[in-house]
Structure 1
Amino acid sequence: MYKRNGELVIRQLLEDDRFLLAKWLSDPKVLQYYEGRDRPLDMEQVIEDFFGDPGEEIRCLIEYKQEPIGYVQSYPISEEERRLYGYDDTTEIIYGMDQFIGETSFWNKGIGTQLVETMMDYLLNVKCVDRIVMDPQAWNERAIRCYEKCGFTKIKLLPHHEWHEGAYRDCWLIEFDRGRSTASNF
């Protein structure tokens, strides 16, 4: 995959990117929002988690002004997730999405919104998905505001859904539904 939106580029993850992922995923500022500060990833874990067989998962590096700044992945959601989320129509193509900006100097500059919109464009127009879902932790209001700006809506609260920093945290199931969207960009 390769997708450009102005100075933002999303490209397929390369083996040399493991060094960046290990750097970002051992930074407490990043981990506070992504894996948890109590779960820094070393190189071995990065290789295991991000460089094994991807199956249908799309793993990408994010560059801004030709500088690597983060990571994004998308994937068809599993049957278990479909049941948990309440999606009974098995003909629908539903993808999940996860992302983080690992270079903290690029936070709060609107790049996250640009990133999400760029991935949405790819998923909706290239992969032809019907829905895109994410499950941000309920306390992460900054991320939720970004996703809502991009047209995602809260569908339901997922109590005690994700283990983060020593406790199960509530998450929101949020979705972008192509069939209900009024966004003209997609």
Structure 2
Amino acid sequence: MAPEYVFRPMTVADLPLIRQWLARPHVREWWGDPSEQYELVSGDLDEPAMDQFIVSAGGSDFAYLQCYDLTAWNSGFGDHPRGTRGIDLFIGEPDMIGRGHGSALIRAFVENRLKRGAPRIVTDPDPANTRAVRAYEKAGFEKVGMVDTPDGLALLMVRNA
């Protein structure tokens, strides 16, 4: 049985942990420059269209997840129903990788959002990040196609209500 995941809103007090996670090689590989990403993540704390969460299991924080109103960003993702949300995440703790937590936490979060009225959730992993693509597929996302983002080509993936 999968553990129960807790998604608590991120606060300023979590920023040292976020900085630490962004510097880890397995996060840096896909999220890029830790300082640049830290500025973006910390800068979004006051962004009304962005919800940021620290994910924990068994009382231990291990991941970061952001969920945003797709219409608030000119994402280049094409047309989507009003209320569509985008998500991005990373597992910060290396010992939690490769154990099924990615797909399980994605499924738990997304199913809750869909039940609460979001018509669609989208994400855009790097197509070379096979671990992420597989986790999203296991959580019910479907590959739609390649999109051009400010960070380069990405694989648009969609999960509908």
For residue 88 of structure 1, report the CA deviation from its aligned partner: 6.0
The reply on whether 1:86 has 2:78 as its aligned counterpart is: yes
State the secondary structure of the residue aligned to 1:17. helix
For residue 64 of structure 1, report the CA deviation from its aligned partner: 1.6
State the secondary structure of the residue aligned to 2:34. coil
Superposed CA RMSD: 2.3
1:13 aligned to 7, 10, 15, which one? 10
The reply on whether 1:72 has 2:65 as its aligned counterpart is: yes
Q: Which runs of 5+ in 2 are unaligned?
A: none
Would you say the 8 A contact 1:113–1:150 is kept in 2? yes
For residue 50 of structure 1, report the CA deviation from its aligned partner: 4.2
Q: Deviations over 1:84-134 (max 9, x none)?
A: 323165xx32100011100111101111111101111221112x1111000
The reply on whether 1:49 has 2:50 as its aligned counterpart is: no
Q: 1:46 to 1:134 in 2, by over 3 A?
A: closer
Q: Which runs of 5+ in 1 are unaligned?
A: 179-186
Count of residue pairs the alignment pairs up: 159
Q: 1:24 to 1:129 in 2, by over 3 A?
A: same
Q: Deviations over 1:131-163 (max 9, x none)?
A: 10001011011111111111111111124x343
Q: Deviations over 1:38-78 (max 9, x none)?
A: x1228973774343x12121111011211111100101102
Task: Write the letter of the residue equivalent to 1:85.
Answer: F
Task: Write the letter of the residue equivalent to 1:49.
Answer: G
Would you say the 8 A contact 1:70–1:102 is kept in 2? yes
Query: Which is helix-richer, 1 or 2?
Result: 2
1:106 aligned to 72, 96, 110, which one? 96
The reply on whether 1:149 has 2:138 as its aligned counterpart is: yes
TM-score (norm 2): 0.88
| % identical equivalent positions | 26
- Could you say which residue in structure 2 is the equivalent of 1:116? 106
Deviating 4+ runs (over 3 angstroms): none
